[in-house]
Amino acid sequence: MWSTHEISNQVDELSDYNPLSSDAALREGLARHGAAWALPQLQGYADILGSADTLALAEQANQQGPTLRTHDRRGRRIDQVDFHPSWHALLALYRGQGLVSLPYDSERAGRWAAFAAGFYLHGQIEAGTLCPATMTQAAIPVLANEPALYARLGPGLLSRAHDPRDLPLDQKSSLWIGMGMTEKQGGSDVRANTTRATPVGAGGRGAEHALRGHKWFYSAPMSDAHLVVAQTEGGPSCFFVPRWRPDGTRNAVQIQRLKHKLGNRSNSSAEVEFQDAHGLLLGEPGRGIPTIIEMATTTRLSCVIGSAAIQRQALVQALHYTRRRRAFGRALAEQPLMQSVLVDLALESEAACALMLRLAQAFEQQERGWQRLMTPAAKFWVCKRTVELAGEAIEVFGGNGYVDEGPMARLYREAPVNSIWEGSGNVMCLDLLRAIAREPQSAFELLDELQQMAGDEPRLGQELLALRELLRREPAELEGLGRWLAQRLVLLAQAALLRQQGPAWVAEAFIATRWGCSGRAYGALDTRGLPIKALLERALPPD
């Protein structure tokens, strides 16, 4: 028999594990933010998520992506996007946990942290299904401002069921909501939109309008309705645009094509054309940007959580692999240079987890500084770092990571979407600067809180003094420094959170490796004196 293809020293990706049981930082964070009550349910959910069967669903949903059917067999326009059954199974799994409605269906303390943990766990396994979940959740408070409309929609929005049928709103047991803002000529400049909305009748808030125009990116086009920005006489306004008209006919939203994306392949994104589509005005005419920004603030939080989830999964898979793969006579995880990389990834991941949970708490408690300033800064930094971290994790696997059959390549392709969606890095930094200019008191109050959390740590104290001085400069001078400012603010917040909440040796390792190392590659740090073994075992307990 031929022996040239005997398999040895090859390591399969981690499966049949519990991503919550193996995550000390997440469990501690849930208890710290008053969400210990959610641990039993999340533990059961994590058992399902980490199973080989669910991992197979994630792989299938991304390999067998959505397809568009514009017409039926007799030429009738249907604009139908078809998905592999794995997509619907994953959506049903997530929605069945009540995570879409959790922040809004009660006043229970810790509910936002519990939601963030569930989103984080699901995002480690499959990210595309979180797009419609994110938009639906973020639309709930916006639609709740329209009492008559919300009376019809509320039960479907808060439902724990997944109803994949393409039917009018009143015939659905649950609803998904998408977004439509971006146009060819404008991109992030929503005020440059050319889609127009004309009143059908007297007009005004809640009234019917006819929308005519296009959207270059229409997120999750098979959603039951979308929130859309269109021009009116009063300026950009926000509209509720369902897939079906009130009379039971299809709305005139024609899908021109699906986007063939780098990643996020399980989820559909489309170009659409409105041919006098039916829409209802949300809020006051001309107030579409503030209305949609209310939704976008929440979806930006989801971008932070989703990126932290990719970081965590990349780290877990890298640790699992390096503990079993051998080179030069010992396991990769025992090699000093590889340990430098793994420790760096572990610190980055834990800091992202701490920040996402603190941001979620801020949404629950309506803390203006954290919501308005730290959210765009965190979206900028955490999402950027995730792209680099995912690339580093692929390198840990060598050629095996670069092959598209495994999950590492999918994580790498998925990572950039959170940096781009809901505002690119520059848009986030400009948003941070606008918030500082409009609410300088909130910025300094945020720094005061970080100072209390930092205590007497000298490096953090010096950084706080430098940031206070920076924030006193003129806005025009700050614009070119936006990325530098956002990076420094987030690193300070992460260090302060770890110092206040985590083990002291984790915080010290993070501070020691983040100050004076700007712009470095992962693993390019001085590990002498760091508790390497303890850090890596905390990140993922050995078998």
| Backbone dihedral angles phi then psi of residue 222, each to the nearest 5 degrees | -85, 5
- Strands, DSSP E only, in 220-260? 225-232, 235-242, 253-258
Q: Measured between alpha carbons, how far is 509 from 24 in angstroms, rounded to an integer?
A: 17
Side chain identity at 468, as an amino acid letter? R
Let me know if residue 349 belongs to a domain. Answer: yes
Q: Mean pLDDT, the chain, as a whole number?
A: 95
Q: Are 392 and 437 within one domain? A: yes
Judged against a pLDDT cut of 90, whether residue 66 lies above it is answered with yes
Q: List the CATH number of the domain containing 453.
A: 1.20.140.10
Let me know if residue 15 belongs to a domain. Answer: no
Q: Measured between alpha carbons, how far is 131 from 259 in angstroms, rounded to an integer?
A: 15
Tell me the per-residue pLDDT of 133-147, one tens digit each, with 9 for 90 and over.
999 999 999 999 999
Let me know if residue 316 belongs to a domain. Answer: yes
Let me know if residue 16 belongs to a domain. Answer: no
pLDDT classification of 7: cutoffs 50, 70, 90: confident
Q: Are 258 and 357 within one domain? A: no
Judged against a pLDDT cut of 70, whether residue 1 lies above it is answered with no
Task: Provide the pLDDT for residue 102.
Answer: 97
Let me know if residue 1 belongs to a domain. Answer: no
8 Å CB contact between 33 and 110: yes
Task: Provide the pLDDT for residue 337.
Answer: 96
Tell me the per-residue pLDDT of 150-202, one tens digit each, with 9 for 90 and over.
999 999 999 999 999 999 999 999 999 999 999 998 778 888 889 999 999 88
Q: Are 31 and 67 within one domain? A: yes
- Among residues 359, 378, 382, 343, the alpha carbon closest in space to that of 505 is found at 343
The structure's pTM equals 0.96
Judged against a pLDDT cut of 60, whether residue 519 lies above it is answered with no
Q: What whole-number percentage of the chain has pLDDT above 90?
A: 90
- Domains in the chain: how many in total? 3
Let me know if residue 169 belongs to a domain. Answer: no
The angle subtended at Cα 41 by Cα 39 and Cα 47, nearest 5°, is 95
**pLDDT, mean of residues 37-55:** 98
Residue 243: give the domain boundaries. 175-286
Q: Are 198 and 123 within one domain? A: no
Q: 74: buried, middle or exposed (CB in 10 Å: 19+, 13-18, 0-12)? A: exposed
Let me know if residue 252 belongs to a domain. Answer: yes
8 Å CB contact between 228 and 95: no
C-alpha 201: how far from chain center = 40
Q: Are 416 and 274 within one domain? A: no
Tell me the per-residue pLDDT of 323-351, one tens digit each, with 9 for 90 and over.
999 999 999 999 999 999 999 999 999 99
| Tokens 């392949």 -> residue | 265
Tell me the per-residue pLDDT of 415-442, one tens digit each, with 9 for 90 and over.
999 999 989 999 999 999 999 999 999 9
Q: Are 112 and 150 within one domain? A: yes
| Tokens 């998408």 -> residue | 178
Q: Are 254 and 347 within one domain? A: no
Give the β-pairing of 225-232 and 177-180: parallel
CB-based burial, 492-525: b 16+ in 10 Å, e otherwise: bbbbbbbbbbbbeebbbbbbbbbeeeeeeebbeb
Q: Are 237 and 265 within one domain? A: yes
Q: Which of 240, 261, 286 is the endpoint of a domain?
A: 286
8 Å CB contact between 113 and 22: no
Q: Which of 286, 316, 350 is the endpoint of a domain?
A: 286
Tell me the per-residue pLDDT of 281-313, one tens digit each, with 9 for 90 and over.
999 999 999 888 888 889 999 999 999 999 999
Let me know if residue 336 belongs to a domain. Answer: yes
Q: Are 251 and 317 within one domain? A: no
Tell me the per-residue pLDDT of 114-133, one tens digit each, with 9 for 90 and over.
999 999 999 999 999 999 99
Q: Which of 158, 185, 206 is the endpoint of a domain?
A: 158
Q: Are 215 and 135 within one domain? A: no
Q: Are 390 and 535 within one domain? A: yes
8 Å CB contact between 303 and 379: yes
Q: How many of the other CB atoms lie within 10 Å of CB of 7? A: 5
Task: Provide the pLDDT for residue 517.
Answer: 62
Q: List the CATH number of the domain containing 200.
A: 2.40.110.20
Q: Are 110 and 148 within one domain? A: yes
The angle subtended at Cα 438 by Cα 305 and Cα 362, nearest 5°, is 30
Task: Provide the pLDDT for residue 543.
Answer: 86
- Strands, DSSP E only, in 297-437? 326-327, 330-331
Task: Provide the pLDDT for residue 487.
Answer: 96
